[in-house]
């Protein structure tokens, strides 16, 4: 590891950046160094901006990926190297507004049905049943499942916050069978290579993609889709937004209210103006 990379990591640790953010920033800076084949502290501001243009126009990175790179470079030159001359004159890009793609309850059922591996099935079911992020489900411990209070404890979720979500009765039954088969010691879903470590989030993602392919489902992206489904299906079942906000650990209720735009119940009760017209049957014109 180069001294510059170590210094940058130390600066991020002091500011209590999450391991995920640290890795994303390090990867972005490493990409910059590889592109020019020289240390980032020897580059000019024009070089960095030219690289960002390369990411947008040639590599066609998404809005979020480009913003991560900009944030990483600003941190490197502004916080780590304290180089005021390297301030990037890049205005913040407007965040794209995209609604999540939601699976129907029938599609979620099919996703579980085609997953024959018991451990894989439990990972998917737990993610959906509790509305968990992938980073949260992989870090669950056996002691986080409270059968008496029917809750799942999320230890240090996003934003380093603890919270509780609901424990489904059906999930509890499935977890009891899972426990008898695998007897997990610490982590509910231990790594197959090292039982003292939890399963990797990327492994959980691959499990979801494989199940989705087996189920013949094309919509939705990664395993986070199951969290979107949890919120949407809860709204469709009549639960209020505030309750769902607490279960999901959203800081702002505005984040939760996005799901109001994709609930089937709301959309189904809304009539198109075309349905208000009296148009003769098309067959009469033949």
> Could you report the per-residue pLDDT of 61-79, keeping only the tens digit for each?
877 788 899 899 999 998 9
Alpha helices by DSSP H, listed for the chain, are 3-14, 19-36, 45-57, 63-74, 105-113, 118-130, 134-137, 169-182, 201-214, 224-236, 241-248, 253-257, 264-268
Q: Is 259 a catalytic residue?
A: yes
Residue from 110, 133, 198, 228 carrying the catalytic annotation: 133
Distance CA 214, CA 152 (A): 29
Domain 105-268 CATH superfamily = Intergrase catalytic core (1.10.443.10)
Band (86; pLDDT cuts 50, 70, 90): confident
Catalytic residue among 5, 158, 206, 264: 158
pLDDT at position 260 is 76
Indicate if 105-268 has the same CATH topology as 3-86.
no
Where do the structural domains in the chain lie, given as residue ranges? 3-86, 105-268
Instruction: Please give the backbone phi and psi of residue 160, each rounded to the nearest 5 degrees, phi first.
Output: 55, 45
Rounded mean pLDDT, 110-136: 95
Kindly name the residue from 74, 153, 250, 264 that is annotated as catalytic.
Answer: 250
Instruction: Tell me if residue 198 is catalytic.
Output: no
For this structure, is 15 an active site residue?
A: no
Quote the mean pLDDT of the chain: 87
Quick one: pLDDT band at residue 283, thresholds 50, 70, 90? Answer: low
Instruction: Tell me the fold of 3-86.
Output: DNA polymerase; domain 1 (1.10.150)
pLDDT confidence band for 98 (50 / 70 / 90): confident
Query: Do residues 136 and 129 touch, judged by C-beta distance below 8 A?
Result: no
233 is catalytic: no
Kindly report the number of other CB atoms within 10 A of residue 212's CB atom.
24
Choose, from 110, 163, 227, 233, the residue flagged as catalytic. Answer: 227
How confident is the model over 142-176, as pLDDT tens digits?
Answer: 999 999 999 999 987 676 688 999 999 999 999 99
């Amino acid at each position: 590891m180069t001294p510059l990379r170590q210094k940058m990591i130390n600066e991020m640790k002091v500011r209590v950046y999450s391991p995920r953010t640290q890795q994303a920033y390090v990867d972005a800076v490493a990409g910059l160094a590889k592109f020019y084949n020289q240390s980032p502290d020897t580059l000019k501001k024009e070089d960095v901006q030219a690289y960002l243009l390369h990411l947008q126009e040639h590599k066609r990175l998404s809005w979020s990926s480009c913003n991560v790179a900009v944030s990483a470079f600003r941190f490197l030159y502004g916080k780590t190297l304290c180089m005021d001359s390297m301030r990037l004159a890049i205005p913040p890009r407007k965040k794209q507004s995209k609604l999540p793609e939601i699976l129907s309850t029938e599609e979620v059922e099919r996703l579980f049905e085609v997953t024959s591996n018991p451990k894989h099935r439990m990972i998917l079911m737990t993610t959906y049943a509790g509305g968990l992020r992938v980073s949260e489900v992989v870090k669950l411990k056996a002691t986080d499942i409270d059968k008496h209070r029917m809750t799942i404890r999320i230890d240090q979720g996003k934003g380093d916050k603890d919270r509780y979500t609901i424990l489904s009765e059906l999930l509890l039954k499935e977890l009891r069978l899972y426990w008898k088969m695998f007897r997990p010691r610490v982590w509910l879903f231990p790594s197959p290579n090292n039982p003292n470590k939890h399963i990797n989030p990327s492994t959980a993602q691959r499990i979801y993609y494989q199940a989705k392919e087996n189920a013949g489902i094309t919509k939705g992206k990664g395993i986070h889709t199951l969290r979107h489904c949890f919120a949407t299906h809860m709204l469709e079942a009549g639960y209020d937004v505030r309750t769902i906000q607490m279960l999901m650990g959203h800081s702002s209720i505005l984040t939760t209210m996005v799901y109001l735009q994709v609930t089937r119940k709301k959309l189904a009760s809304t009539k198109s103006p075309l349905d208000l017209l009296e148009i003769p049957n098309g067959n009469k014109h033949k």
